[in-house]
Amino acid sequence: MPLMQLLLLAMWTLVLVRALSLRATVSLRTLGTYLVLGAVLGPVALPVVHSFFNSYGSYQVYHWPFVAVGVELLLLAPVLAFLFFRRAHQVSSVSDAFLLAFMVGFGYDLIAALTGVAGTSQLSSGVSYFPPFVFQSQDLTVAGFGYWSALIALAIAGAARFVRTRTAIYIAAAIATFWVAADISGLVSLQRAPTVLAAVFGNMTMHGLMTPWLCLLALLGLSLWEGRWISTAGGAGAGQGLISEWSAALTALTGGKLDDFRRLTRAARLRRRFQPGRSAGPCSSRWSLLCS
């Protein structure tokens, strides 16, 4: 049944992105809340933004960058509120930003996919398992709002975490948003009204192929950088902590030992809340609801 296949693929996606985000400290309950939030917010955001920028339905190529930016702003509003309300970006990890943004966007992707398979008898063979939940065909790849939102959040969180200047945050956000807008515009315009600009956007992102890989590689790179950055305050032996955590958890996951995987990730999350190099853990009294 296509519905069961889709749900299994969704579960695989959630397990995999959580495994790749071992520096995250937010709880599963919080991730579930953001997933539901995306499922509710996404179907509302796209029609509202689309009707605002393209009320006559002309489908001109210059409409889609504005539509893409508008939808992403609405989807990322809860994540940005978490990151910058009372300076939470200073005590949360880049993996937290990735996971929260991915969950919001993935909630929308999942609802759209469930709607699409409701009247079919077979799940499309173009849905990939790695990168997970990416729709591929011969000439294009649709990363989805999960990856699009997560890429912008990663850029913002990385700049806020390591550079810590407003200029760097604005520049990183602008670059990531431009990439996402180009990716979405190139995909949509290619299907509706191919133009030179759409071809430029499509070639720049390799018709969507680069975006999910870029997002996952950015997550791994920033997580390793953050782990090394924090470990400098904990002595030379702490530098191996992140790699050993990843190795043990992924071994448990690939071996089907889900209880061990949950135990290892929970223990790692608790250790990171009290790591040196952080002025306050994200699970201090201010953020206890997010991490419990």
- Tens digits of residue pLDDT in 135-155: 887 777 888 999 999 999 999
The pLDDT of 11-33, averaged and rounded, is 86
pLDDT confidence of residue 267:
60
Overall domain count for the chain: 1
Report the C-alpha gap between 153 and 155 in whole angstroms. 5
Is 231's pLDDT higher than 90?
no
- Of the CA atoms within 13 Å of residue 133, those in its CB half-sphere come to 31
Is 46's pLDDT higher than 60?
yes
Is 73's pLDDT higher than 80?
yes
The pLDDT of 30-53, averaged and rounded, is 87
3-state secondary structure 259-281: HHHHHHHHHHHHHHHCCCCCCCC
Report the C-alpha gap between 79 and 157 in whole angstroms. 10
Task: Please write the tens of the pLDDT for every residue from 175-217.
Answer: 999 999 888 877 766 666 566 666 777 777 777 788 999 999 9
Q: Tell me which of 36 and 92 has the higher pLDDT.
A: 36
Q: Other C-beta atoms within 10 Å of 213: how many?
A: 16
The pLDDT of 64-77, averaged and rounded, is 87
Is 287's pLDDT higher than 50?
no
pLDDT confidence of residue 244:
66
The domain of 101 spans 2-291
Across all residues in the chain, what is the average pLDDT? 77
Q: Which of 45-54, 64-73, 166-175, 242-251 has the lowest mean pLDDT?
A: 242-251
pLDDT confidence of residue 236:
46
pLDDT confidence of residue 268:
58
Look up residue 217 and give its amino acid.
Answer: L
